[in-house]
Amino acid sequence: MQERRQDEPDALVSRDLWKQYPMGDVTVDALRGVNLRLPAGQFVVLLGPSGSGKTTLLNLAGGLDAATKGELAVFGRALNGMNEAQLTAYRRETVGFVFQMFNLVPTLTALENVRLVAQLVGTDHLADQAIADVGLADRAGNLPSQLSGGEQQRVAIARALVKQPDLLLADEPTGALDFETGRQVLSVLWQQTRSRRMTVIMVTHNTILARMGDTVVRLRSGQVVGTEPGEAIPPSQITP
């Protein structure tokens, strides 16, 4: 693993980050004062039981949702206080998303799904390579409905990577896949982000998968209960 330079800002810094959802008379505290500092270039695994606030934190980091209070900065840029145009630019330039349910555009082929984003950020020439990188060169012309779940998720990864984002966010990317398929997908994700020294935050509730992270952040009831170094084992070597 290569070290990043010291003066480079941290990938993510949060201070007393709160997210509350009003639900009728009561408010649900999804995040309750999260303090976090994640250095750049790491593969971070966000681990916690269901309902602990993982998705909420990831969505805040991705600029899909706004915090109720507290501060959140990604690569030194504060997300709270950004207007819609700035958020759009942030989502476009800084982050890549991989969703649990893949969220591919159903009417576009695998390659077109990747090119859609590549054209947005001006990296159209990288689209073919991105599809090849996730091992789908021969399925590039297939529609999502003609791909297996694992293949769809690999397209989603290619779609996120082709943007060459500073931060890749993956919310339970294997949640809809069986273990073996999930492991293959994670291998692709791991390899591709490793080789580019990309910062990754991957959410999972699976402690076994957590072993692949450089850093493991444990979340419980909306609070960080521990940040520890991970084992950084390649997914291909993880056994259930």
Ligand X SMILES: Nc1ncnc2c1ncn2[C@@H]1O[C@H](COP(=O)(O)OP(=O)(O)O)[C@@H](O)[C@H]1O
Question: Using the rule CB under 5 A, which residue among 14, 42, 52, 55 binds Mg ion?
Answer: 55
Q: How far is the CB of 54 from Mg ion (least distance, A)?
A: 5
Is residue 101 at the binding interface for other proteins, with CB under 8 A as the rule? yes
DSSP per position, 17-30: EEEEEEETTEEEEE
Question: Using the rule CB under 8 A, which residue among 61, 97, 152, 188 binds other proteins?
Answer: 97
Q: Which stretch binds other proteins (CB under 8 A): 4-12, 85-93, 200-208, 213-221?
A: 85-93
Q: Which stretch binds Mg ion (CB under 5 A): 3-11, 24-32, 54-62, 113-121?
A: 54-62
Strand order in the sheet with 95-98: 95-98, 167-171, 199-204, 43-47, 215-220, 223-229
Q: Are strands 167-171 and 223-229 parallel, antiparallel or unpaired?
A: unpaired
| Strand blocks (E) in 122-178 | 167-171
Is residue 52 at the binding interface for Mg ion, with CB under 5 A as the rule? no
Closest CA to 66 of 83, 53, 54: 83
Cβ closest to ligand X, residue 39 vs residue 51: 51
Q: Are strands 199-204 and 26-38 parallel, antiparallel or unpaired?
A: unpaired
Pair 175, 127: CB distance under 8 Å: no
Which spans of this chain sit near ligand X (rule: CB under 6 A)? 21, 23, 28, 30, 48, 50-56
In whole angstroms, how large is the CA radius of gyration of the chain? 17
Question: Using the rule CB under 8 A, which residue among 42, 52, 56, 193 binds other proteins?
Answer: 56
Q: How far is the CB of 43 from ligand X (least distance, A)?
A: 19
Q: Give the interface with other proteins as residue ranges (CB under 8 A).
A: 55-56, 59, 62, 64-65, 84-85, 88-89, 91-93, 97, 99-101, 103, 105-109, 112, 115-117, 119-121, 141, 143, 145-146, 159, 163
